[in-house]
Amino acid sequence: MRVLAAMSGGVDSAVAAARALEAGHDVVGVHLALSRAGGTLRTGSRGCCTIEDAMDARRVADRLGIPFYVWDFSERFREDVIDDFVAEYRAGRTPNPCMRCNERIKFAALLERALELGFDAVCTGHYATLREGPRGLELHRSSEEAKDQSYVLGVLTAEQLAHTLFPLGETPSKDIVRAEAERRGFSVASKPDSYDICFIPDGDTRGYLAEKVGAEPGEIVDRSGEVVGSHEGAHAFTVGQRRGLKIGVPAPDGKPRFVLEVRPVDNTVVVGPKEALAVSEIAGSRWTWAGAEPDDQATPFACDVQIRAHADPVPAVARIDGGELVIVPDEPLTGVATGQTAVVYIGTRVLGQCTIDRTASAAPVEA
């Protein structure tokens, strides 16, 4: 097979490319340039897709003896990931830019170009597995639960899965991957993992949003509408947040308050007790299935739901109702914000996902 290896400059994608080559595939490496800022440099272990990362990826490709290219996807990345991120925060939602990047860049724009150029598949260093099921290819969790990345791949469609390789999926430990990179003589063997948001390499998300969205002072209110404090910009708050609240009026019971809602229209942050964060239902109108769809989507079916990349899956019941994927957890979820992604599993298999548009409170509590 002709395989295009997406090489981020990290150890995972390096070993994935090496394994694809070792498996007998005709491999070409490509690094995605996602920023046109000439001075974009890596800060510690923050960020990815920087100048240093491109150089690291090229060194690995040279060692493997495979062709290597850098493709400029910066315009598409700005429109589909960065602009979306800012717009979501401006609307009071909490987006996941890694999800959008996988959906619209790595497994849409990149795969589309790869297929146009005659490649059969795209290879990445994600920790997830592909298995042949009774109704076609299925996406499953990695064998290494701590490193499992199936959540951020929940946006992939059946067509995309058919042209994707995950060579690291069955690897039981990241330490094994690093040891393999060391044996292969890769300079990235001990390179730290990237984290946080790649286009905010200094990690100052609040400062970034203040610049992009604007920071206007506003009120913090309880659920009855009483003003209990003030803020310097609603964009800096997310549902479930406790720290950093400037509340001058203590709660009647003396317990801490948490952010329950962000209202960008009137620049207001709503706070209340922890119990009010409990959510009994989530729903989204933007959903996709990763592989074969459920036979009867309108009939409730048992599943697990995961609302963050490193959250524990929670037993639930899901169905398609009124143009939404509606998910009812067996036990209330806590700290769910609109804009987050809910990924639905059946066992280890990723069934699909939706962007959360609305939530229903489990037990309204008076402020």
Express each pLDDT in 57-81 by its tens digit.
999 999 999 999 999 999 999 999 9
Dist CA 25 CA 3 (whole Å): 6
Q: Which residues contact 195 (CB under 8 A, 6 or more apart)?
A: 45, 46
Intervals of the chain under pLDDT 50: 38-47, 365, 367
Write down all domains in the chain, each with its CATH number in brackets.
2-125+167-183 (3.40.50.620), 215-272 (2.30.30.280)
Cβ-based neighbour number of residue 8 at 10 Å = 24
49 tagged catalytic: no
Q: Where are the alpha helices (DSSP H) in the chain?
A: 11-22, 51-64, 74-77, 83-90, 97-101, 110-116, 158-161, 174-183, 205-213
pLDDT number for residue 41 = 47
Is the Cβ–Cβ distance between 353 and 341 less than 8 Å?
yes
Is 198 a known active-site residue? yes
Select from 84, 108, 106, 107 the least CA-distant residue to 96.
Answer: 84
**Which residues share a beta bridge with 2?**
26
Spatial separation of the C-alpha atoms in residues 107 and 170, rounded to whole Å: 21
Specify the pLDDT at position 36: 62
| Model pLDDT, residue 285 | 94
Catalytic residue among 48, 49, 123, 198: 198
Which pLDDT score is estimated for 38?
A: 47
All residues at 6 or more sequence positions from 151 whose CB lies less than 8 Å from its CB, including other chains: 306, 308, 309, 341, 343
Output the pLDDT for position 48. 61
Does the model's pTM come out above 0.85?
yes
pLDDT given for residue 30 in this prediction: 97
What confidence score (pLDDT) does residue 3 get? 98
- Catalytic pick among 101, 123, 303, 354: 101
